[in-house]
Amino acid sequence: MLAIRNVSKYYGTFCALKDIDLELSHGVYGLLAPNGAGKTTLIKLLVTLLFPTKGEILYNGKNILGLDEHYREQLGYLPQQFGYYKNYSPNQYLMYIAALKGIGKAEAKTRIGELLRLVALEEVAHKKMKAFSGGMIQRVGIAQAMLNDPKILILDEPTAGLDPKERVRFRNLLSELARERIVILSTHIVSDVESIAGEIIMIKDSRILYQETVEQLCQTLEGRVYETLMDYEAADDFRRRVLSLSEKQEQGRLRIRFMADGETDESWQSVRPQLEDVFLHVYRDEEAVTPG
């Protein structure tokens, strides 16, 4: 089990994370927040790239900094900015990372073959990566994260660069992997985690706002989310009164999904809240909200 105890991280006087308390056991955890909220800082703390200013992170009751390589050998990590060597083939690249992960040559060879098959890159295993598309590079990244069959898999914005088909394939893969390990998936794309995350962690104002299941989070908006159909002329005035969650054109009129507290109207149809609604509600004042 991974436990984050009272962790704060400051860069000089700037507070990136404050008093973070989390407990993570097996399953997929969706770390959901807009860009700049502190997701990457939290992840870098978890992979020992950053050191907490205050507090500690424990793995099975022991401080991860003390465990050092014994902790990191349980880790699989795909950073947000996933660098690679253009002149390496996936095979060479993964062999190098396997060495850094302490995997023997023979074992690495077999494992790399399996993983490249899994991410559908077997055909290009010996081609230089400089000719790869963003999606192919990202799949190499996913393969490297899985090299050591990690107990803790941490993926920072893993679906960036993947096309819709690859994203679905990736989600299915993660669901499969999550059975016996902790998977932390950091994203600002709600659909990436909605269907697969056992729990959603939301960060706001440098603190943990929620650590709940998708259902529990949606319940917080129960009875407050509606849809209605209106003329375009009336939309501006309406938006000032409610929080618009999504809008689409329907039969020459505007179908608007919104959140309202207190007042109701007969023309409003109450709908079941979704994670995206919660996200938009929580971060309504934040910029760079990208529901997908």
Partner 1 sequence: MRIVWMEAGKGLRSPIIIGLFMLFTAFNLFLMLSERHMKDELRVLNTIVAQTGHDMNGEGYEALGEYYTNELAKMNSITQEKIGQTYESAAAFTSSNPQLLDPDRPFTEPEVRFVQDLLVTERYYESLPAIRSQYDSLDMRTRAEVALSIMIDPTSDRVDKLVYANYNKLQDRLEVLREKGEHLHLFFQGTVYKMHSFLYDKLLGIMLLQAMVMGVLMTAQIMNHEFDHRTHLLMYATRRGRRLKVDKLGAAFLTTTLMTIMLLSVNIVAFFEMYDYSGLWDVPIGTGFLQEYDDAPLIPWWSMTFVQYLFAVLALGLVLQWIFAGLTAGIALFVRNSYFVCLLFLLLLGIGLTLFTVVPTTSLLIFWAYINPFQVLFSTPNWFMIKHVFTTYPSYEWMTVSLWSAVLAAGLWVAYRRFKRRDLV
> Contact residues for partner 1 (CB under 8 A)?
44, 47-51, 68-69, 72-73, 75, 77-79, 81-85, 96-97, 99-102, 105, 144, 148
Q: Find the shortest distance in angstroms from Cβ 180 to partner 1.
A: 19
Least gap, CB of 244 to partner 1 (angstroms): 36
Residue whose CB is less far from partner 1, 101 or 167 = 101
Helix then strand then coil, % of the chain, to nearest 5:
35, 30, 35
- Return all residues near 176 (Cβ < 8 A) that are at least 6 apart: none
- Cβ proximity to partner 1: between 47 and 196 the closer is 47
Closest to partner 1 by CB, 126 or 272: 126
Tokens of 15: 């507070």
Give dist(CA 258, CA 81) in Å, integer: 35
| CB crowding 21-33: b at 16 or more within 10 Å, else e | ebebeebbbbbbb
The alpha carbons of the chain give a radius of gyration, in whole angstroms, of: 22
Q: At closest approach, how far in Å is the CB of 288 from partner 1?
A: 20
Task: Report CA 174 to chain centroid distance, whole Å.
Answer: 11
Beta strands in the chain (DSSP E): 2-11, 14-24, 27-32, 54-59, 62-63, 75-78, 152-156, 182-187, 199-204, 207-212, 225-230, 243-250, 253-259, 269-270
* Smallest separation, CB 69 to partner 1 (Å): 5
Smallest gap, in angstroms, from Cβ of residue 17 to partner 1? 13
Is 65 or 234 the residue whose CB approaches partner 1 more closely? 65
* Minimum distance, C-beta of residue 130 to partner 1, in the bound complex (Å): 12
Instruction: Tell me the Ramachandran region of residue 25: left when phi exceeds 0, alpha when psi lies from -120 to 50, beta otherwise.
Output: beta
Strand partners for 58: 3, 63
Nearer to partner 1, 53 or 175 (CB): 53
CB 67, min distance to partner 1, A? 11
Query: Token match 């990736």: residue?
Result: 170
Kindly give, in sequence order, each residue whose CB lies less than 8 Å from that of residue 269, ignoring residues fewer than 6 positions away: 226, 227, 228
Q: Which is nearer to partner 1, 86 or 248 (CB)?
A: 86
Closest distance to partner 1 from the beta carbon of 230 (Å) = 48
Residue among 144 and 274 whose Cβ is closer to partner 1: 144
Task: Please identify, using beta-carbon distances, which residue of 147 and 203 lies nearer to partner 1.
Answer: 147
Q: Which residue has the tokens 């993926």?
A: 155
70: which 2 tokens?
Answer: 């014994």
Token pair for residue 269? 């149809």
